Amino acid sequence: MATSLELAERLLRRFKGVPNFDFTDAQELVDESLRYHGLDPSADVPSDKEKLVLLYAQIQGAWQVAFSVAHY
């Protein structure tokens, strides 16, 4: 089991090369993913849901980054 903070740290490492992406961004994405999947952000995340939560958060983060640079 992991906490929302631990998942946010893992997500932050995945986005380490993205300028201006910080821990707050990672935490918001993880918390949004937890709520979307019916989980409480303040509770431990079941081991079998960790990958699901991280994958959803990573997809949403990548989507946001892609749209923010699309005009280039």
β-bridge partners, 45: 2
Residue 69: what pLDDT? 86
Closest residue by Cα to residue 3 from 53, 41, 56, 38: 41
Helix 23-36 and helix 50-69, axial crossing angle in degrees, nearest 10: 120
Q: So what's the pLDDT on residue 71?
A: 76
Contact yes or no for 50/8 (Cβ under 8 A): no
| pLDDT value at residue 51 | 97
Whether the model clears a pTM of 0.85, i.e. scores above it, the answer is yes
Q: Exposure of 8 by Cβ count < 10 A (0-12 exposed, 13-18 middle, 19+ buried)?
A: buried
Per-residue pLDDT in tens (0 to 9) along the chain, 72 residues: 999 999 999 999 999 999 999 999 999 999 999 999 999 999 999 999 999 999 999 999 999 999 988 877
